[in-house]
Chain A
Amino acid sequence: MDKIQLVSLSGSIIFIYIVLHQVWRQRLKEAYALLWVMTGIAFMVVSIWTNILTIVSDLIGIVYPPATLFLLMLMGILFIIFQYSLVLSKRAEEMKRLTQWTAILEDRIAKLEKDKKSVK
C-alpha cells in the first residue's frame, strides 16, 4: 500500500468517525449524516481500490485520473449543497407559517384574557 493510500484511508476513517460522533452526540441529524458517511465511504473505496479512478477515467474520457477524483468530489459537494438549499427553502416556509400563527394565536390569547377579566 502506498503512503498516499494510507494517508487518504486514515483521513476517510477519521472523517467518518467525526460524522458518527456528532450523530452520537445528537448534534447532527441522521438524515444529514448519511450523506456525509456515504461521502466518507466513497473516499475509503477510492483510497483502497485506486484502480477505480483509472477505470472511471477511461470510461468517461479523462486523461489524468486524479482529475476524475476532483470531479467526483465536486459533484458530491454540489449535491450536498443543493440538498441544503432544498432544506433551507422548506425551513423558510415553515418559519413563515410559525411566525404567522404565533401572531394570530397571540392575539387570540390576549382577547381570551380580556374576556376572562371582564367575566370576573
Chain B
Amino acid sequence: MSTIPENLFIIVPCYNEAECIVSVIKELKAHLPDAHLVIIDDASSDASVEVVKSVLDEKITLLPLATNLGIGGAVQTGFIYAALNGAEYAVKFDGDGQHPADMIATLLSPLLDDSADLVIGSRFMANNDGFKSTFLRRIGIGFFAIVNSLLLKQRIIDNTSGFRAYNRAALEFAAKYYPSFDYPEPEEVVLFAHNNFRIKEVPVSMRDRVAGSSSINLRRSAYYMIKVTFAIFMTAMRPKIRR
C-alpha cells in the first residue's frame, strides 16, 4: 500500500451536492481515515450544510460560505484553512463524486518523492477507460491542452481536471493567489507553471457524476472558453510572483 502522509488536508468544494456529499465523505474516510477533510459549502440552496453537519467528526471541518463565491473562491477558502492549520499536503477533491478516493495515494506520490509541487489527475493518459467527459467538453479540453502547452513549454493534457494534489509551497501559494473564477483549473495550471512550480500529470480514472448537473452548460461554455483563455494569457504575461 502506498503511503499517505500525515497532515494531509482534502479540500472538498460543495455546491448543492446534498445528494452525494455524504457518500463522498464516506468514501474519503474509508480510504484515508487520518486525513483532514475540509468541506467548503459555497452557499448551497439545498440541504448540503445540514447533511454534512450530520456526519461531522473531529477530522472533518465544514466551512459554510455566507455568499456564493464560485468554485475558485470556495476552494481557496480550503487552501487558507489548510495553510493555517499546518497542512503539509492538500488534495482538491470534487464534492460530486467524480473523483476516485482510491487514487489519492497515486496523486500524492510525485509530491512525496519531491519530483513535483502540483500533481494533476489526468483522464487522458495511458490506457484509461474511465469517464472522459462529453464530446463538446472534450473539444474544450483539447483546446486548453494546446494553448497551455504552447504557453508553458510543458505538455499538460488535462487542464480542466479539478483532481489535484499540492505540497506545502503550492498550497500556500494557492491560499494567496488562487484564481477566483467559476472555472479556474486551466488558469491555475498557467499560474503555477508561470511561477516556477513543478507540475506533473498522473493518469487517473474518473466516474460520471453521481448526482447533480455540471456547473458548465452548453450555453455558457463559449463564454467560459473566451473568459478563461483571456485570463490565461493575462496570467502568462504578468510578472512572476515566485522565482
Q: A95 CA to B68 CA in the complex, in Å?
A: 11
B65, A99: Cβ atoms closer than 8 Å: yes
Q: A102 CA to B80 CA in the complex, in Å?
A: 12
Determine whether B69 belongs to the interface, using a CB cutoff of 8 Å to chain A: yes
Least Cβ–Cβ distance between A108 and chain B, in angstroms: 9
Least Cβ–Cβ distance between A110 and chain B, in angstroms: 10
* Closest A residue to B41 using CB positions: A103
Determine whether A26 belongs to the interface, using a CB cutoff of 8 Å to chain B: no
If over half of A's interface residues share one DSSP class (helix, strand or loop), that class is named, otherwise mixed; here it is helix
Within 8 A of B (CB), among A64-120: 92-93, 95-96, 99-104, 106-107
* Closest A residue to B64 using CB positions: A103
If over half of B's interface residues share one DSSP class (helix, strand or loop), that class is named, otherwise mixed; here it is mixed
B66, A99: Cβ atoms closer than 8 Å: yes
A103 to chain B: which residues have CB within 8 Å? Answer: 40, 63-66, 77
Least Cβ–Cβ distance between B122 and chain A, in angstroms: 29
B77 to chain A: which residues have CB within 8 Å? Answer: 99-100, 103-104
Q: A100 CA to B236 CA in the complex, in Å?
A: 26
Determine whether B81 belongs to the interface, using a CB cutoff of 8 Å to chain A: yes
B73, A100: Cβ atoms closer than 8 Å: yes
Q: A107 CA to B67 CA in the complex, in Å?
A: 16
B63, A104: Cβ atoms closer than 8 Å: yes
Q: Which of B63, B69, B76 is close to A107, meaning CB atoms less than 8 Å apart?
A: B63
B80, A96: Cβ atoms closer than 8 Å: no
Determine whether B109 belongs to the interface, using a CB cutoff of 8 Å to chain A: no
Determine whether B106 belongs to the interface, using a CB cutoff of 8 Å to chain A: no
Q: A81 CA to B67 CA in the complex, in Å?
A: 26
Determine whether B55 belongs to the interface, using a CB cutoff of 8 Å to chain A: no
B81 to chain A: which residues have CB within 8 Å? Answer: 104, 107
A104 to chain B: which residues have CB within 8 Å? Answer: 63, 77, 80-81, 84
B80, A100: Cβ atoms closer than 8 Å: yes
B66, A96: Cβ atoms closer than 8 Å: no
Output the residue of A95, A96, A102, A106 with the most chain B CB within 10 A: A96
B63 to chain A: which residues have CB within 8 Å? Answer: 103-104, 106-107
Determine whether B180 belongs to the interface, using a CB cutoff of 8 Å to chain A: yes
Least Cβ–Cβ distance between B187 and chain A, in angstroms: 15
A107 to chain B: which residues have CB within 8 Å? Answer: 61-63, 81
Hey, which bits of chain B sit against chain A, CB under 8 A? 40, 61-67, 69, 73, 76-77, 80-81, 84, 180
27 A–B pairs (Cβ distance < 8 Å), ordered by A: A92-B180, A93-B180, A95-B67, A96-B69, A96-B73, A96-B76, A96-B180, A99-B65, A99-B66, A99-B73, A100-B73, A100-B76, A100-B77, A100-B80, A101-B80, A103-B40, A103-B64, A103-B65, A103-B66, A103-B77, A104-B63, A104-B80, A104-B81, A106-B63, A107-B61, A107-B62, A107-B63
Hey, which bits of chain A sit against chain B, CB under 8 A? 92-93, 95-96, 99-104, 106-107
